[in-house]
């Protein structure tokens, strides 16, 4: 596995604004305010060791994976992201619907999963196609056996995920190591129930510098209205 602290990385995410109640809830669950760049106390029902993987990212929904890159690609990454967002029609809607909490990987991951609007799926696909050439390494084991379509994606786009199998989600807990994830899933479902439908008006370019342990918001790109 690639050392997650070694090398410059970039990603494109949906990240609610700091004043948004969902952002504040998710930040409290993860124990890290990515917009402020500071830790926050976890609620009593979550253990620190349950957020060692999800916490350093802060609250986010992945449009483009956390790829490795180099500084000489950075300006092009910014330009490409801006150009992709500019391609959307002024009436485009980055909407998430039917949000619900799922338990993945035998209860290790608890995620707030959504269905994307057509415009959001288009933007995800466009960003992935345009930005993957700037990835110098993938955050995946490229030698692991995979279904043919995933192997083809990994060769072309440096990721086996996304496109027509994309599952937009905010990771709320990872890695949960308790004996039974279902009570926690139900509790999280209750907490996030008011946020089952969301509309976003911008995307965020995230950056994690070589040797850093946490991500930060490098730049945001609002939709053109």
Query: If 0-12 CB within 10 Å is exposed, 13-18 middle and 19+ buried, where does residue 2 land?
Result: middle
Q: What is the pLDDT of residue 177?
A: 95
* 119 torsion bin: left (phi>0), alpha (psi -120 to 50), beta (else): alpha
E strands, 93-167, in order: 94-104, 109-116
pLDDT of residue 86: 98
What is each CA distance from 186 to 66, 100, 112, in whole angstroms? Answer: 29, 10, 12
The per-residue pLDDT for 139 is 80
Q: pTM to 2 decimals?
A: 0.93
> 190: Cβ–Cβ under 8 A, 6 or more apart, which residues?
none
Per the listing, tokens 């620190």 go with 48
Phi, psi of 126 (to 5 degrees): -65, -45
Q: How many CB atoms lie within 10 A of CB 164?
A: 7
**pLDDT value, residue 143:** 73
How many whole angstroms separate alpha carbon 187 and alpha carbon 130? Answer: 39
pLDDT for position 34: 98
Q: What is the pLDDT of residue 5?
A: 59
With a cut of 50, list the residues of the chain below it in pLDDT.
Answer: 1-2
User: Which pLDDT score is estimated for 1?
Assistant: 36
The bridge status of strand 8-14 relative to strand 202-208 is: antiparallel
Tokens found for residue 30: 């993860």
Cα 49 from Cα 210, distance rounded (Å): 23
Locate 78 and state its tokens.
Answer: 């910014």
Domains of the chain: 8-222 (3.90.1140.10)
Tell me how far apart the alpha carbons of residues 69 and 3 are, in angstroms, rounded to a whole number.
14
């Amino acid at each position: 596995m690639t050392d997650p602290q070694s090398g410059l990385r970039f990603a494109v995410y949906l990240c609610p604004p700091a004043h948004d109640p969902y952002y504040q809830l998710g930040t409290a669950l993860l124990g890290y305010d990515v917009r402020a760049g500071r830790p926050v106390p976890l609620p009593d029902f979550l253990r620190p060791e349950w957020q060692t993987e999800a916490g350093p990212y802060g609250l986010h929904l992945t449009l483009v994976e956390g790829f490795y890159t180099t500084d000489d690609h950075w300006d092009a990454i910014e330009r490409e992201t801006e150009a992709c967002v500019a391609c959307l029609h002024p009436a485009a809607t980055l909407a998430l619907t039917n949000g619900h909490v799922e338990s993945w990987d035998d209860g290790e991951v608890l995620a707030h999963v959504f269905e994307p609007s057509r415009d959001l799926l288009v933007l995800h696909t466009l960003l992935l196609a345009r930005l993957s050439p700037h990835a110098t390494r993938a955050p995946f084991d490229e030698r692991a056996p995979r279904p043919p379509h995933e192997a083809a994606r990994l060769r072309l786009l440096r990721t086996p995920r996304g496109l027509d199998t994309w599952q937009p989600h905010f990771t709320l807990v990872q890695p949960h190591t308790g004996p039974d994830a279902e009570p926690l899933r139900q509790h999280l479902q209750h907490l996030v129930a008011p946020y089952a439908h969301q509309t976003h008006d911008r995307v965020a370019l995230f950056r994690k510098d070589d040797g850093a342990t946490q991500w930060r918001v490098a730049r945001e790109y609002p939709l053109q209205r």
